[in-house]
Structures are given as C-alpha cells and as structure tokens.
C-alpha cells in the first residue's frame, strides 16, 4: 500500500456511507484529487477539522483501487473569518466551485494552488469580499487560459469607441458595435473595463485601496457571472443562493 504526502486545500466534500466522506482537494503536488476520508463524520474523529471546506492541510494518502484514502491529516490554516460572515462563506464556496469545475484531476498547477491560498487569506480578513472575488476570478481565468479579451474587439481586432462598450460571453471578450449586431451582449462603461485591468495588474494586498462605484461593481458582477457560467456550463450553487438573497441582479441586453 503506497503512501504519499500532499499539501492541499479542501474544495468540498460529499457524504458517502458509514460516516465516510469523499473529499475534493486541490494539492500543490498533484493538482485536483478526490479521496475518501473514512469515519470522518464521527464525533470522535481526529480528521474532522483538517477536512472541512477551505482548510489547508497536510495529508498522508494511501493509494486505493478506485479512490485514494486519507491515512493521516493535519490542519495548517482554517480561515475562521469565513465562517462568521455569510457573504465571505458564499464567495469562498463560489471560488471552490470554480476551481473544481475548471480543472481536471491529476494535473498539477502550483500557480493555481498558490492563487487559492492567497485569496482565502485575503478573503478571511478583507472588508471587501466582492472585489477580492473579482480579483480571484480574473486571475484564475488568466492562469487557466480562459481570460476574456479586454483590449479591443475580440472579433475584428478593431478599437472600441464611445463611453460604453459591449461584452459578449460567446465571443469571449469585448466586441465593437458592428460585430455586436445580432449577438447577445452585456453593456458596461469604460471605467468598469479599467477596473478589470487594474485587478489583473495589482497584487491582492492592494485590493482594499480600490474605490469602485456601485454601477461598475454591478457590471463586473454580471460580466463575470455570465462568462464563468459559459465556461462551467452551469451556474455555481453559491451564486444561485446569492441570487435568492438578492445579492446580484444581472441584466443582459
């Protein structure tokens, strides 16, 4: 029985039988992996804290026929601020869903692992979880090769004129007036696009310095939610719950 060690963040878990859970991890060494944590829901289990969502833990894993299993684990970081703020908890859940949906198992990506940890640390203490989430989304899409085109018309390559621009999820970025004909698109102002560029260029510890108008926040939210849904081929459960709480109200032209 081969044992191996990974440092990983817990993305999610689901119930199995007999107090077991299937845990989805994103590890530094092996990327995304699914493992079984036997008996972890029992009150006496020593593994419970280390396998809770968003925990960063060291795992000793045992290779199995179908799924590997958790032999030992020790929690390293737990981000308690996420569990005392519903917005932060939902944003963290949304980020975990994105990573799970947009990555494949067994494909190591240390940059994505570092990106998740950086964002969870900032989300834990920030006063602006929404903007931290937009930073996470844009940077994650850049790391995975899905970044929308924001430097002109994605279709014809031409410049964009006027104070308002159009974003097409199907085209994968901004489109000009002529290319937008007959397409579904989202309208936003140039200031919103400038904020997106800033989020892509700034490090996360500067995010709280940004002052973003409510209109630009709403436009970014709509753009990213629709664009991510296009790539995930579904809407994240966390965002659906946020919609029910009237946190978001996307409008598409």
Give the containing element (helix H, strand E) for 121.
helix 110-125
Question: Which CATH code for domain 80-244?
Answer: 1.20.1440.120
Q: CATH 2.40.50.140 in the chain, residues?
A: 3-77
Given pLDDT bands bounded at 50, 70 and 90, which one contains residue 246?
Answer: low
Q: Which helix (H) or strand (E) holds 237?
A: helix 237-244
Query: What is the structure's pLDDT at 154?
Result: 95
Q: Is 62 exposed, middle or buried (0-12, 13-18, 19+ CB in 10 A)?
A: middle
The pLDDT-based confidence of 250 (bands split at 50, 70, 90) is: very low
Is residue 19's pLDDT more than 90?
no
Q: What is residue 235's predicted lDDT score, i.e. its pLDDT?
A: 78
Average pLDDT, the chain: 91
Contacting residues for 163 by C-beta, under 8 A, at least 6 apart: 189, 190
Q: Is the pLDDT of residue 238 over 90?
A: no
Q: Give start-end residues of each CATH 1.20.1440.120 domain in the chain.
A: 80-244
pLDDT digits (tens, 9 = 90+) for 106-121: 999 999 999 999 999 9
Residue of 170 and 245 predicted with greater confidence = 170
pLDDT bucket at 40, cuts 50 / 70 / 90: confident
CA distances in angstroms from 250 to 149, 164, 171, 220, 222, listed in the order given: 21, 17, 19, 10, 5
Of the chain, the percentage scoring pLDDT greater than 70 comes to 96
Report whether pLDDT(253) > 50.
Answer: no
Which has more confidence, 16 or 93? 93
Rounded Cα distance between 193 and 212, Å, is 12
Output the pLDDT for position 249. Answer: 47
Q: At 252, is the pLDDT very low, low, confident or very high (cuts 50, 70, 90)? A: very low
Residue 1's pLDDT is 60
Domain range 3-77, CATH class: mainly beta
């Amino acid at each position: 029985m081969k044992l191996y060690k990974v440092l990983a963040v817990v993305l999610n878990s689901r119930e199995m039988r007999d107090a077991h859970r299937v845990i989805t991890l994103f590890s530094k060494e092996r990327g995304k992996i699914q493992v079984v944590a036997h008996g972890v829901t029992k009150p006496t289990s020593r593994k419970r804290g280390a396998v809770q969502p968003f925990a960063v833990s060291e795992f000793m894993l045992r290779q199995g026929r179908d799924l590997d299993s958790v032999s030992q684990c020790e929690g390293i970081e737990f981000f308690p601020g996420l569990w005392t703020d519903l917005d932060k908890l939902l944003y963290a859940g949304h980020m975990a869903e994105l990573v799970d949906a947009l990555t494949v198992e067994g494909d190591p990506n240390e940059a994505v692992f570092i990106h998740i940890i950086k964002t969870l640390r900032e989300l834990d203490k920030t006063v602006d979880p929404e903007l931290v989430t937009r930073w996470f989304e844009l940077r994650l899409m850049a790391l995975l090769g899905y970044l929308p085109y924001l430097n002109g018309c994605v279709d014809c390559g031409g410049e964009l004129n006027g104070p308002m621009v159009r974003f097409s999820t199907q085209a994968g970025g901004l489109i000009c007036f002529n290319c937008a004909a007959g397409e579904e698109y989202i309208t936003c102002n140039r200031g919103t696009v400038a904020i997106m560029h800033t989020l892509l260029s700034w490090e996360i510890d500067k995010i709280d310095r940004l002052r973003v108008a409510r209109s630009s926040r709403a436009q970014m939210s709509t753009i990213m939610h629709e664009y991510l849904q296009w790539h995930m081929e579904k809407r994240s459960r966390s965002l659906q719950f946020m919609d029910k709480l009237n946190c978001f109200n996307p409008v598409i032209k």
